[in-house]
Amino acid sequence: MLSVKEVTFRLILSVFLSGIIGIERESIKRPAGLRTHILVCVGSTLVMLTSIFIFDMFKEQTALQPDRLGAQVISGIGFLGAGTIIRQGDTVRGLTTAASLWAVACIGIAIGAGFYIGAIISVLLVLVTLLSFSRVEKRIKVRSNYLNLEITAINKPGQLGKICKTIGDLGGHILSIELEPEDDQIEIVNLIIKVPNLSLKNDLINKLSNEDGVVNVLNRS
């Protein structure tokens, strides 16, 4: 039977490890952030602890499999992950966050089972994947018909719509858009845009630079 100290340690460890991943998701304003990741991990840890508790309680009376409840967590987490997936035209967003929730659930099960080394290494690998591989992914995209733009614009009604319309008029397709308000007057718009051909890249940048309300256009490709 697990002691109260061991149960408490495992639950607190699940908060800490899942919080590391949750902070990364929160920092880029994803639908499932810090609290969601912590709740998923704590819940899955508790499920595994409950499985072990039930096994210890009744192992002399019947044959039980302590991993059965954990298996239900892995399959059941899909409903929450699906809620983070958003389709925008031909683009699907939120898949990475859904995958991180599933990974956090698995990490929670590992913590609940006492497999600490596996849980810690998994958190490090997930964090490296989220932080480092996203940059690699962007570089791969922008080598072809993609633009990674950082647009500094005046924060006023309709400004974002005008930027998007300019991109659409030139045949560009927005794959990703993120807003970072600087203050009440200025906002930064981060865009990944697919253009029909490479020759339109400079035309699009020049057109956006001359757009009313746009302060600066930085090509981060």
Tens of pLDDT, residue by residue over 181-204, are 777 788 888 888 888 876 788 888
| Mean pLDDT, residues 45-62 taken together | 80
Same domain, 87 and 102: yes
Tens of pLDDT, residue by residue over 113-152, are 889 999 999 999 888 888 876 666 666 555 567 788 889 9
Tens of pLDDT, residue by residue over 77-114, are 777 667 766 665 545 567 778 888 888 999 998 999 88
Domain count along the chain: 2
**Residue 12: how many CB atoms within 10 A of its CB?**
13
Tens of pLDDT, residue by residue over 151-178, are 999 888 888 888 988 888 888 888 888 8
Instruction: Give me the pLDDT at residue 88, please.
Output: 53
Same domain, 16 and 112: yes
Residue 47 CA to residue 35 CA, distance in Å, equals 18
Residue 82, amino acid = A
Domain CATH code at residue 197? 3.30.70.260
Q: Is the whole model's pTM more than 0.95, yes or no?
A: no
**For residue 150, what are the domain limits?**
144-219
Domain end call among 100, 122, 139: 139
Helix or strand (DSSP H, E) at 201 = helix 200-209
Q: H helices then E strands: how many in the chain?
A: 8, 6
Close Cβ partners of 83 (under 8 Å, ≥ 6 residues apart): 31, 32
Across-strand partners of 192? 148, 176
Domain end call among 94, 117, 139: 139
